[in-house]
Structure 1
Amino acid sequence: MKFSRIVLPIFLCIHISCQRNEYKETDINKEIVLCFNHYNPKPYKTPGLGFFHIDMPKISYINDLGNFVSHTPKIDFDTLVLSCPKEYKEIALSYLNFEYIYYSIKQGDTIIISMDSLDYPLLKSKHYPKYNHIYNINHKLRKGRTHSGLEAKTCLGSDWVWIAQNIDFAQAQNIEGWIKDYCPLDSLHNMFNDYRKAYIDTVNFLKQQRFITNEIYNRCNYLLQLKVHESQRMLNKDSTYYHKMEQEILDEYTCYPSYYEFLDYYLWFFNYHVKGIIESQSSYYDWRQTFDELSAKPFQPKSMQILLQRCINEIGENFSAEDLNTYLNKYVKITGDSILYSKFVEQYNLSADANQLLLKDIQGNIINFQQLLKKHKGKVIYIDFWASWCVPCRKEMEPASELRKQYEGKDAVFVYLAYNDTENSWEKAVQEEKLSTIATNYFILNSKNCKMLEDINLRLIPRYIIIDKNGKLVEMNAPRPSDKRIKATLNKYL
């Protein structure tokens, strides 16, 4: 490891020293051009338990309006032209749906973005070849300092810590998935510390040799600190840790996508503090209290808006329509941002009749639940509440397909209702699960604002209910398709 830390600066010196003078073009194009060359990272799961994250944006950046924007390149070739009024513009590329890698791209540059054999991003400059070494620093430094293909800091900030803490139990019970994903905590710490040392040495060398500006040097140190915060998440039990981060919550950083990840880590530590205050035994945070405590802090307006937007998103997903309306009104009063209010009213159909469950099929036709029941009166209706993001829901789709085949020609109807989902994600999942040809496949338009869903206390999915031939709800928690009891239950009502 020591050898790699020495060789890298020398390697850089050999290849860059002949071009040490900075370019001094007078009419630099104030844009950057990103050319994606077969940049299509594949879905990734860990070797053992198959850990994976919800899809992360393939590329993110801050647009001219100061908004965080995500983009998914076309599979073969794609080009993205971004304004770059300053000397550099930061972009974020995702890796394996686990990590963001941040790049400061020089104004006027055109970058070819491809992947190595492990799907890690590789950048190649068209106009400033000497910057290739700087753009790809992280690609070089992470080699030999990873576990399951991921940086040690990523593992330290995720479920690998839990596995390491319970490995004796896993070995005693011969739980193969845990054992395959296992890495000792001291090994993860050593890998990260070695990476951090090599990173600091390399960045300091680049600064001393004037290969990077003060601005890029400071950004490099900021990004390293971001990795440190992530590495602290799972093991840190200091409920005041968020205080250490508050001095870095400044609106001048809102032009960087990495700042949004920084705020996510801040909220992680802040919610640990909130959870301690409310003495909750639940793994879920009370984002309403998070919102109230944050809104009392003296943060600058843009940063405050970003933090409160995150709270509103979580309240929308996990709390009632009444709570969402309450906190949307608070949000507008604090930030003056009525756009988010309108977005959520539309997303959750908060203005719709709460007595109706509104459904939309794959062709865009809209009906309500009572019309659905009337249409299939005289048949037993088995309803599957699911979502594209719900892994247990998706695992039941194959058994559900088999169950449908076994009841073909019988007085049974299988209905699929996407709950608390987004239409784009639902449409994609419908194709993947081969539900597009099923007429009784619907997207719930008012998941948040419907009395019926409150009446059946729909909070967790997958959830299955059965309506009998007379239109009466007879099973509030029916067996799932993979359950051996499901056939007997259906046959009883048939």
Structure 2
Amino acid sequence: MKNILLTFLLISIFSCKEKKEEIGPEISIIKEKKIEKRNEVFISINDTIKSFETNLFVDEMQDKPDILYLGQKKNKTSVTIPTQNTIKILGGAPWFSFFYELELEKGDSLLIDVRKVNLNKSKQIEYPTFTILNSTKTWSENNFDYLLYKYNINTKAIVIDENKFQNNKYDSEKVYLNSIKLLDSLKANNSISNKFYSANRINQKLKFASSKIKEAKNQKTEIDIENLEIDLNDEKLIANNEYISFLRTLILYKYFNKDKRVLNSVQFDFINDNETFLNKNTKLTLLDSYLKSIYFIEKSKFDKYLTKFNTVNKNEEFKNKWQLVIDKQNINSKKLNATNRNVGTLTNLIDDNELTFEEVLLKHKGKVVLVDFWASWCAPCRKEMPFLKDLKLKFNETELKIIEISIDKDYSAWVRASKLENLSNEIDNYIISNWEKSNLYKNYNIKTIPRYLLFGKNGKIIDENAPRPSERELIELIKASI
């Protein structure tokens, strides 16, 4: 989730004709009265795109990304995401050495298109490009990584092998020099702001420095850190994620050079217990970064290391951040813990009533009932959601009732996914407690999801493993049962 590189494209930064075509339309900055932005982000794709998938993070402390599916084949071309914060979409293909990342603020409206990039004679990819319709950011800023990737391919800074993924070549120094040339060119054309130019020159330098250190560690060679010309305790960069990533890479090189894999908890203890090149503020920021990794990767150790962190932490911002994480954990536990919810209890987001499955089924007697078992982390489940929505439109609610039951163990993940799938205001969108101990799990032998149960008007089961909503057979089965 975390190792996201940003590399993107340009056919030729020195050709005026190509520059005009690839850099794309500039969005003029018009001064106007400040308006209140809505607490949502709207994302749509070009209606010619058949299929597009990307990772979505709506919360900094989100354990796993939501998968956003859009396109003709997905039966979904847009989505509105409720948020009061910055959200992030990211994706790519490591075997082609391309990755993209884009941050969106509340109120943004994003249009996604794709452009074909020829990697070599036999391989071609579709690279996403982004236009934020109501933003002061230029097209070149939103698509800098795309421009750089294409430039790297054309100058052979990145070479994709015709036959094998393992033989791809990535020249980190050439990629870095290309990034500086591209930034200079875009700035000269007024295609990017001075702020974007300065920030990205620093980030590209940090990425190159990190790659040099990793190379030295892997090849067991010496590297002169001073030649990298990066201040190891730069207060201005302390909030920069790329800077923290550089420092973490340097820690592994300087203090764990002989080790192939070092746990984040081990690195935390070393930095916490020993004198290093880090000053007080940089050390605390790095410990915070390790704690975040422990939260995601070494979950069972989190409470112990949070206590250690709080012992040395005097920063209110860090304190408040981790307190919010704890508060969310407590809410999650309260909602789904066995001591608060009976086994197999169903509850929704509207009234939080506790119901049994039999009670839910009974209140819809006289209708055909389709039960969908899903989870926020289940990609095939989420792909079927637009087709479920179509079923609701095809059949009258007096004929067919669709019941959603999430088996999520993370309550907040279910809430987030319900909002994304427009299910949060539906009375029959439930989460089940203690799923694997429930009678539903045992009676219908539900060991994989998505799974669909179809019940007749009399409340009796018609099909214990009904076709998926995207399959025509399900529509015919429902029609025959009404």
Q: Normalising by structure 2, what TM-score?
A: 0.47
Q: Normalising by structure 1, what TM-score?
A: 0.46
